[in-house]
Amino acid sequence: ERETNPVRQQRFLTFVLVGGGPTGVELAGTLAEIARQTRSEFRNIDTHKTRIVVIEAGPTILPSFAPALRDAARRSLARLHVEVRENTRVTAVDEGAVMLGAERLEAGTILWTAGVAASPITATSGPSSSSSTTPIFHPAPSASTCSSRIWVGSTSSSTTPGPATHR
């Protein structure tokens, strides 16, 4: 709401979801609905400009679903103005962008919704690691252990037992 630079504003209004399985597809649709329903609540943001992109490395979104259901989901996402990019691999993630080979896709929010196991990309992006793909988060983050990335689900583990939120 406070950003006046249109280029930066568009970056903040761009959401990239890495993974075209059920979680990524449902979350993309939900974000599109939220953007549509909150238009009147902002004075300086045009949520019509919200860009939502689902990136799927495989040949199709929802690969475990029947082809007719995949097509219906693809049509629903298109009606919501969600971009679906299949056969597209994320090769790197940095602050504010994903790399799709040589293409840089700027985004204010990047959500990793791919698979049930941590991606190998997390091995290059997190604090110390318990395996090649799982960043470990310490109970008392400090400047040396805390980053601006947020890892959830199977992409993270904690040094303390029980539920916790780590940044």
CA dist 133 → 44, 73, 127 (Å): 40, 31, 11
Residue 26 known to be catalytic: yes
Q: Which of 26, 41, 56, 83 is catalytic?
A: 26
- Tell which residue, 145, 117, 122, has the closest CA to residue 133: 122
Could you tell me whether strands 92-94 and 97-100 are parallel, antiparallel, or unpaired per DSSP bridges?
antiparallel
CA distance 7 to 11: 6
Q: What six digits make up the tokens of 8?
A: 């930066």
CA distance 141 to 15: 27
Active site (catalytic) residues: 26
